[in-house]
Chain A
Amino acid sequence: MFNYGYFSFESKAELLAKSIEYWNPGKTKFWQDAGIDMVIDRREGYYLYDMSGRRLIDLHLNGGTYNFGHRNAELVATLKSALDYFDMGNHWFPSVARAAFSEKLVKTAAHMQYAIFGAGGAEAVEIALKTARYTTKRRKIVSIIKGYHGHSGLSVATGDDRFSKIFLADKPEEFIQVPFNDIDALDRALRGRDVACFIIETIPATYGFPLPDDGYLQACQDLCRRYGTLYIADEVQTGLMRCGTMWGWQSYGLEPDMFVTGKGLGGGIYPISACVVTEKCGGWLHEDGAAHISTSGGSELGCIVGHQVIDILQRPEVIANVHSVADFFRRALTQMMAAHSDIFVGIRQRGVILGLEYDHPEGAVAVSRALYEHGVWAIFSSLDKRVLQFKPGVLLDVATCQEIIDRMEAAMPRARALLRDMRRAA
C-alpha cells in the first residue's frame, strides 16, 4: 500500500496501469521497454528513491533543474518563508520580488539591462525569439541542427523535426537550421541580412554536449554582429555555474544580445525562467510592456527562490565545489576510459557538464540501463544515443562522487554485455 494521504495505490503495478490509462501510455511504456522501471518516490539531496525503496544517485538532474539536489534544505526554507508572505502575485504590477530578482539576475552579466520572466525554459525562449523579431523587424530565425530550445510554438520550430513535425509545427521557411561547428554554413544563412536571431545552446545538451570548436561561438557572435542578427545564448542547461562560471557564455568570452535561463533557476522547487536582454533589445518593454503576458511567469514565489539560487551560486564555497567536482570526474573518468576503452571511447567536459561517448549508435542507452541497475540514474542524449549525459550537481560531496565512480565501475561488465547483445541483434 502506497498511501500518500491525498491518494493511494495498492502497488507500483497499479500505479503504472493508471499511468497508462490516464496519463501518458507512450512515455510510461517506453521506460518499461527500456528496462528502467523507475517511479520516483521519495527524494533527497542527490538521491532518488524508487517506489520499491531502491536508491538511485541522480546524475540526470533534469538538465540542471536539480543542480542543488532534490529539496535542497536552504531553498525549501526559502520557499516556505516566501509562502508565509507572498503568493504567485499579480503579473500586471511591479513587485518587490520581481524587482529584486531582476536586478540580481541582470547584475550577473555586466552588459545586460532587463530580465523578462517566464514560467519555463520554452517560454523564456519564446520571449527571446519574439524580442529578436521586435528589435530587428526581421522574421527568420536560425538555430543548429539537433539544437533544443523547448516545445512551444516558436521554440519548437527551432529544434529537431521529431518534436515539430508531429504537431505540424515545423516552419521551414522561417526557421533555418545549420550544422553545429560549421561557421561557413552559418555565414551562408545570415548573409542575406534577413535573419532576426541566431539561437544556440552554449553546449547543445540534447545533442549530447558536443563541445564547440575553439573560436566557433565567438565566430558565430561575430557573424551575427556583421549581419545585424541578434545572438541568443540558450543557457537553460549550461548556465547556473554548470560550466564553472555563472553563465556558460562567460566562459567563452562572449557577449550575447540575450540569454535564456530556466530549469535550475527555480531550484527544482518552484518553476521560473528568464530571458535577460540588453538595453538595445529592451525596446518593446518601453513601447508596450504588456505585449507579452504570463500569469505564472515571474511569480513572486519563483522570484524569491531564484534570488536565493543566484545568491547560493555566488558563494565562494559553491564555486570551489564546482571546480572540485569537475576535477574529480575528469580524473576518475579518464582513468575509467583507459580501463574500458573497448566500449567507453570519449569524454566531453566543461565544468560539471559531461557527455560520455560509447562505441555503439545506442551505446548510452545500454550504459544508462546498466547504471540504473547499479543505482545510478543518468540519461542518454535523445538526439545522439551514443552519448550519456553525465550531469553531476554543483553541491555534490566527495563521498557521493566516489560512490558514483565505484558504481559505474561495477556496472561496466553489465554495460559490455548489453552492448554485445545489441550488436548481435543488429
Chain B
Amino acid sequence: MPMQLHQDAPRLQVPDRAEETAKMKIDRATWAGQAFARYDRAAVMRIARAVAEAGHAAATQFAEAAVAETGMGVVADKVLKNQLSAHPLVDFYENLDLVSPKVDAERRMIELPRPAGVVLALTPATNPVSTLYYKTILAILSRNAILFSPHPMARRCCNAAAARLAAAAEAAGAPSGLIQCIEEPSVPLVQALMGSAKVQVILATGGGPMVRAAYSSGNPAIGVGPGNAPVYVDPGTDQTVAARRIIDSKAFDNSVLCTNESVLISQERDRSRLERALRAGGAHICSEADVAKLRDWLFPGGHLNTAAVGKSAVWIAGQAGLRVVGTTRVLVAPVALVGIDEPLTREKLCPVLGWALVSSAAHAASMAQMILRMTGAGHSAAIHTDDPQLALDFASALSVYRVVVNAPCSQGAAGFATHLAPSFMIGTGYFGRSSVGENIGPQHLVHWTRLAWNSDPSVRPGDLDGLRAPFAGPEAAPAVPLPFSAPASRPVGEGGVDRDLLRELILQELRDLTRGKS
C-alpha cells in the first residue's frame, strides 16, 4: 500500500496528466503539420500576416503580462520587441519562398520544399512572448506545426499569447492545432518531449544545460549557446556616440537579450573621455569598492545571481549596496582582469557592464577572445570604429559569427538595427557547440527534396515548366460531427430500380472530382 504522506495527499499514484496531455499535443501537431504541408504560398502568407497582426495588436498586453509574470525587463522595450517580431519579421522573409517548388531547367533540377513537421520550441523567461511570436512566424513561413514548452516562470503569458496567435491563424484558415503550448511545463516534461520520436526538430532557447539536453535528446535540434558580447570602442571614433549606443543597448529591456554587450574594452588613453561620455548617457561608473560589492552580490560563489536577470540598474545597485542616482540606466564596473579570474566578465543579462582597458586594438581582440573563451563563443561581439579594416581584423580574430559595427549590439546582432535576419535565436555555430552559425530563420525548418535529371544532354528531361504544384489545399468540411455517406448507404435488400445507375453516375462524378483535385 502506498505510504500516506499526510492527510490530504492522494492515496493513489495518478499518472502524470501533464505528460500524457503533452504527448497528445504532439500527435495533434503532427496532424496539423500534415494538413499545413498541403497549403500553397498565398495561403501561408495570409496566415503569417494574420498571426503577425494578432501579435502586433496584443504586443502591449503581452509585454505587460510578461513583465508582471517574470519580473524581468522593461514593458516599453518588450512592446517594441513584440512588435518587431510581428510584421517586420514577415516583411523580412516576404520574398523567401519556402513553399513553392523551384524549377531549374538549366540544371535539370526541381527542388521541393519539405517542412520538418513538428517543431518543439522552448521559450526563455527573459524574452518569453517575443520568442514565441518569432518562433511561431518561423514555423508558419516554413509550414510547420509548433508546440511550445515555455519556461515555467513565463508559462501564463506564453499560453495566453500562443492561444491568441493560434486563434488568429485558424481564423485565417490554418489547420487546428498548428500552434500549441504546454500548460504546465516542467524540466522532466520538456526532457520527455525532446526525446519523442514524433518531434522532428527542437528549437532550444534557454540556459546552457537545456540547450545541451536538446542536443542530447537524439532528435535534430537547433540550440544556441549563451552570449557574452565584448564591445571594443576604437579611439578614432566618436566616443560620445559610441557610449550612447552602448548605454542604450545595455538599458534596452534591462539587458535580457543575449546579444547585449557584456564587457566594454577601450584604450587606456581614452579612459576619461569615454567615462564622461558613459556618464552623460546615464551610466554609473563604479568605484573599486562598488565593484567589490557588485561582484559579491551578482556572483555569490562565482555563479550568477538569477535574481538580477532583467532587473533595472537602480534596483541592482540597491541590492548590492551601491549609492547611485535614480536616473542611472547602467552600472559600469571597471575590471583589471578578464576571463575566468573575473566573474564580472561573464554573461550577466542585466544592465551591468564590465569595463577593461587595453593598450592597442590587437590587445583588444586578444582580450575579447579571453572573454569568449570563457563563455559566449560563436555568439556576438561589437566594435565602434570608422575604420572598416580594423573592424575586419577584429572580427577575424574573434570566435563569433556576428560582429555588430557602430550599432547597439542588443538590437544589432538580433537583426533589429542592422540588416542581419531579425531573430531571437542567435546561431552560435561550431564555435558555440551549435548546428547553425547564423541567425535562425524559417529556412532552417525546411529541407528540400531534389529531383535531379540525367545531366547527359542527349537524355531529354521533358518540359519542366508548367508542372502542377502538389498543393491540395485545406480540408473541405469536417467529417465530424456531420455524418458522411457516399454514395450507397442503405442496408441490403432495399435497392431501388435506378440505384445502380445513380451509383455509377455519382462514382463517375467523384472520380472526376478527385482527379481534378489531386
Contacts and interface: CB of A to CB of B under 8 A. Distances in A.
17 contacts: A78-B14, A81-B12, A208-B491, A211-B483, A244-B479, A244-B481, A304-B12, A327-B475, A331-B476, A338-B514, A345-B507, A346-B487, A347-B484, A349-B479, A357-B489, A395-B27, A398-B27
Contacts of A349: 479, 483-485
Interface string B166-198: 000000000011000000000000000000001
A318 B27 CA distance: 9
A318 B22 CA distance: 11
4 smallest CB-CB distances across A and B, nearest first, come from A244-B480, A346-B488, A317-B24, A324-B31
Contact of A348 (B13, B35, B485): B485
Contact of B479 (A77, A326, A338): A326
B491 A330 contact: no
A326 B480 contact: yes
A337 interface: yes
A211 B449 CA distance: 43
Contacts of B13: 77, 81, 84
Chain A residues touching B, range:
35 or more
Contact of A346 (B25, B31, B489): B489
Interface of A: 73-74, 77-78, 81-82, 84-85, 146, 180-181, 207-208, 210-211, 243-245, 251, 304, 308, 312, 315, 317-318, 320-324, 326-331, 334-335, 337-339, 341, 345-351, 357, 361, 384, 386, 395, 397-399
Given A386-B492, A397-B31, 8 more contacts: A73-B20, A321-B31, A324-B31, A324-B177, A330-B479, A337-B486, A346-B488, A347-B484
Given A317-B28, A348-B485, A395-B24, A323 B492 contact: no
B485 A211 contact: yes
Contacts of B476: 331
B15 A77 contact: yes
B478 A398 contact: no
A335 B12 contact: no
A304 B12 CA distance: 10
B195 to A, nearest CB: 15
B491 A334 contact: no
Interface in B1-55: 1-2, 11-15, 20-21, 24-25, 27-28, 30-31, 34-35
B66 to A, nearest CB: 25
Nearest to A212: B483
Interface in B357-379: none
B450 interface: no
Given A74-B20, A334-B514, A398-B30, A348 B479 contact: no
A313 B492 CA distance: 34
Contacts of B177: 320, 324
A337 B485 contact: no
B95 interface: no
Nearest to B25: A317
Nearest to B487: A346
A329 B480 CA distance: 12
Nearest to A251: B481
B490 interface: yes
B239 to A, nearest CB: 58
B510 A334 contact: yes
A338 B484 contact: no
B511 interface: yes
A398 B484 contact: no
A272 B443 CA distance: 52
Q: Most chain-A CB neighbours within 10 Å: which of B11, B13, B27, B479?
A: B479
A324 B486 contact: no
Nearest to A317: B24
B30 A81 contact: no
A320 B28 contact: yes
Contacts of B14: 78, 81
Contact of A315 (B21, B475, B490, B511): B21
A334 B509 CA distance: 12
Contacts of B486: 334, 337, 346-347
A333 B394 CA distance: 63
B518 interface: yes
A341 B487 CA distance: 11
B254 to A, nearest CB: 37
Given A320-B177, A331-B475, A386-B492, A351 B27 contact: no
B503 interface: yes
B345 to A, nearest CB: 47
Nearest to B491: A210
A146 B490 CA distance: 13
A397 B25 contact: no
A201 to B, nearest CB: 13
B507 A341 contact: yes
B94 to A, nearest CB: 31
Nearest to A80: B13
Nearest to A326: B479
B15 A78 contact: yes
B481 A245 contact: yes
Contacts of A361: 492
A308 B28 CA distance: 20
Nearest to A96: B11
A315 B24 contact: yes
Contacts of A210: 489-491
B15 A398 contact: no
Contacts of B513: 338
Contacts of B490: 181, 210
Given A146-B491, A210-B490, A335-B514, A397 B198 contact: yes
A350 B1 contact: no
B488 A74 contact: no
Interface string B452-494: 0000000000000000000000011011110111111111100
A327 B479 contact: yes
Contacts of A318: 24
Nearest to A361: B492
B25 A85 contact: no
A84 B12 CA distance: 8
A397 B11 contact: no
Contacts of B489: 210-211, 346, 348, 357
